[in-house]
Amino acid sequence: MWRPLLMLALSLTLPRTQATASDVDAVARLVQQDFARCGQQVTLSRPLSLAAMQRFQGFTVSQALEQQHYRPYRARGMSLTYHGDLKGLAGALSGRCADRLGYTEFGLSTDTQTVHIIAATPARVDLNQTGRWLAEFLAVTNKARFQGQKCGGKLMNSAPPLTWDARLAGAAARHASDMVRLNFRGHVNPQDRGRAQQRAERLGFRGVVGENIQYGAISPQEAVKQLLTSPEHCENLMDARWKLFGGAVANGTADTLFSTYWIQVFGTER
């Protein structure tokens, strides 16, 4: 589900004149055209552009990507000289197809002296195996409940295993899809103000519902491990009153806050 990170941190130098939005757009178009000549289609990514901006604060590429919660399969910077000469920049960009292969997104940021560009391919969950990942999501959750946990300073005893529930899974899938579509984080849908309880009830569930969300993991094991590091999420996962479980996983896009979204919905029927 993941690959080693391939990374080269470099920068693109600009003159001291202030860069305008049109300068950025022109450079972005050149980058896209250069990748296209090599048979690669790349999308301008907001998280990568924010990571490129953090390069001005002294962050390495890996540090900047981590700050943006962007987990790459591979990432690379490009080092080129640019003095307002777009034709010269286009020439400098060309002829390097060996360095363009395997990337799907890029980010760009400028100040009065420098432009930083990061090209990357994000780590993703293979959604062709969604059934497998969700079965493992339930199994890993039940294993954690069986083992008992220390949630912050609170010891939680072993809890009974959960059973898969299609209604709760549907509520989880809907929320995952909406978080990607509307690009938000958290338990409340900003469009309809719905919460996990309302989402489950719309699908016919009658009872009490709880929800955990994890961002950025690339396996169910990692998602549960990260949830257990948060006392609140850990206590929710270990709550002995829960009997039923539904889960979902979704990949983000070039413009979303996170690369992956994992959701646990717990429930007990009345």
Residue 23: C-alpha distances to residues 79, 86, 159, 233, 254 (Å): 17, 9, 59, 45, 22
Give the C-alpha separation, 187 to 5, whole Å: 31
Q: Looking at residue 10, what is its pLDDT?
A: 42
Residue closest to 124 by CA, chosen among 262, 259, 264: 259
Nearest to 213 by CA among 127, 128, 137: 137
CB 2 within 8 A of CB 65: no
Structure tokens belonging to residue 233? 């999420």
Dihedral angle sign, alpha carbons of residues 258, 122, 33, 81: positive
Q: Contact at 8 Å (CB) between 112 and 196?
A: no
Half-sphere exposure in the Cβ direction for 203 (13 Å, CA): 19
Residue 3's pLDDT is: 38
Q: What's the whole-model pTM score?
A: 0.70
Tell me what pLDDT residue 17 has: 52
pLDDT per residue as tens, the chain (270 positions): 333 344 444 444 444 456 678 888 988 999 999 999 999 999 999 999 999 999 989 899 999 999 988 888 889 987 677 777 788 778 877 878 888 888 999 998 877 567 788 999 988 899 999 999 999 999 999 999 999 999 999 999 999 999 999 999 999 999 999 999 999 999 999 999 999 999 999 999 999 999 999 998 999 999 999 999 999 999 999 999 999 999 999 999 878 888 899 999 999 999
Query: Alpha-carbon distance 230 to 137, whole Å?
Result: 17
Could you give the CA distance from residue 170 to residue 81 in angstroms, rounded to a whole number?
51
What is the Cα–Cα distance from 173 to 176, expressed in whole angstroms?
A: 5
CA-nearest of 248, 80, 265 to 179 is 248
Q: How many CA atoms lie within 13 A of 102 on its CB side?
A: 12
